Amino acid sequence: MRVAQPTKLTEEDCRKLEQQSRGRSIAARVVLRSRIILLAAAGLQNRQIAERLKVASRMATLWRDRFNKLGIKGLLKDAPRPGHPHSIHAELPASLIEKTIQSTPANAKHWSTRTMAKEMGISKASVSHIWRAHRLKPHRVDSFKASNDSRLAEKLEDGVGLYLNPPEHALVLSVDEKNNIQALYSTQPGLPHCTL
């Protein structure tokens, strides 16, 4: 059996770990890690700690070693996990959004995740993630419109400004315009007339 490196605590460490091991508002993982260190300081070996706390012995080893290197702050955060580094650069989402809004692919009415992924050189999942994050739905042609008006932002500010700060004694109304739709006849029957 391998003998674990001894764990020594200062009075301050001991007080802090005891507090953390009993805390009800402290994350369960920090409570468990604090208990591991308290048992290690009491002289128990990793296998004994694992049996007592019903955890894997490698967990006891990991947190004892982490505490011996970093102290209490080493118990509070998990180490960064290994994995594939992000391949999407910070400026890519902005260019993808602009391309989605301002252009259409050749031989198609709208962008699909596949065509956009091929165009941008990234995965379909990345395109889908960026579109969801920015609530873009280019396949929904009925509700997806982009204005080509160069003064759109200025006009929006004026319109919203009326709602937020209307002139004194003014009545602000809003009318929704739908292009290419003309109301020629009523689609609902009229209400019956009431006679007295």
In tens, the pLDDT along 33-82 reads 999 999 998 889 999 999 999 999 899 999 999 988 888 888 888 877 77
Looking up tokens 């008006």 gives 149
Cα Dmax for the chain: 101
pLDDT tier for residue 6 given thresholds of 50, 70 and 90: confident
120: nearest Cα among 89, 147, 148:
89
The answer to whether the Cα torsion of 82, 88, 91, 96 is positive or negative is: negative
132: nearest Cα among 95, 93, 103:
93
Per the structure block, which two tokens stand in for 129? 């993630």
16: nearest Cα among 37, 45, 42, 43:
37
C-alpha to C-alpha distance for 1 and 27, rounded to whole angstroms: 32
Report yes or no: 74 and 66 within 8 Å, Cβ to Cβ.
yes
Return the pLDDT at 56. Answer: 92
- Give the DSSP letter string of 124-153: HHHHHHHHHHTT--TT-TTT------TTHH
Domain boundaries, the chain: 11-76, 92-133
In tens, the pLDDT along 83-108 reads 766 656 667 788 888 888 888 888 88
Per the structure block, which two tokens stand in for 115? 């065509």
pTM exceeding the 0.85 threshold for the entire prediction: no
Q: Please state the separation of Cα 175 from the chain's center in Å.
A: 36
Q: Which amino acid is at 176?
A: D
Report yes or no: 77 and 67 within 8 Å, Cβ to Cβ.
no
